[in-house]
Structure 1
């Protein structure tokens, strides 16, 4: 396993120590550095290369969102594209979307436990090739033996986003209009991908889609477009709307899970589009 360098940014020493302990418990050989605010972290990010940043949102001098914004705009900074995980108690979707707008990679909501944090670390180091899939498999087997079996697939299949703690069955129920379990299809567009998908839940604020894992999957906070079509003839309703991915969750907690739920928060619905979407929900609910 390669040696990774991780930067932890938090103004509370107690929280910094907890995060260092969580990382070191799983990866004792990793280099873990700390900064007590965004201003100090800014200087450190300008001097050295890191493989991952774990950062609090609310800090004096320079907040986490200000640090993130600065980093993503620094074209000559070697850390410009480093995975940046926000660790914060600000779990409302508005904050999640704001962080997504500024280029955050992922989100951990306080309070967290060691497994939740180390799983995030593992996830992004695997993506960068610092931890190989063989090493990951061995690590999961070891964790499984320690825990007495079960739950090891959480590293790759745990629910991401939707920090309110709702399950999939109610994860789209926070808008003005409650979500409905519907039967219908949609088109999901991101990058060069155009994927036919099934709808699980739909409201005028959000949608949960069912994707096969053999498809190209969107990333957390990625901007996407969702196309809806319902009804026939003169009663047919069409709508295409933009949104951001705020939840990813495997249907089964297994490394070979075949279905992933993707929760998408709509970002550009005007009154006319919301009325059209309400009619689509009505047609798909019958």
Structure 2
């Protein structure tokens, strides 16, 4: 059986561990290489052959888009499947990556099933899937499609930080006295989970973590679940995407049917730009201005 070698490029060790576990559970014998940014990945690619690249977009030193552009300029890497594993799912970013030669996308946060499906698709195209399952048939004939519609299909609601699945603009009373409405602006954000998105209010913020309030609904966050926190920044309303995982989920009120949940989100990004953005938010005292139900 021929060996298949996959390169995982991400500055967050938590994300690399998630991808490694998903690959090893579903592709026995796969050989995995790691790199913490595009620069390290470039050095590795100059030394050995790789059959599939799974790469983050936003990384220090060299971004995923820069690495992709470099790969497509190399004769031996022009046809190598390159999948962006990223929270950048906006249409303009997708188009930019397609023009640079990306093979596919996996949106953060992702489920194990989504990861496996995308990897199978890429390995099938490259003629490498048979190395793991000789009797396995392709899951779909759509493997040959590489259009913008295919790459963005089904993701619009998750990737746009606009309409949240669970509104919190006018929360119901959760304690006495009656709470005020959640304010607009930096006090609110959108939390993306593998199963969907939900609005959140930021109760506390640091360089390492954030405490978020979400209204209890059908979508119930789980401990250790990979998530993306979208925060609106600046007058141009650009979105800062902060990757992390849920460290704790607790009832905000001391009762079993608490209408609000208090989530502790641990950040996993080491991108200096994102850390600088967090530092500026904290310096402006943003955390102290956030809405607290019942206050």
TM-score by length of 2: 0.47
Structure showing greater relative contact order (alpha-carbon pairs closer than 8 Å, 6 or more residues apart)? 2
Higher helix share: 1
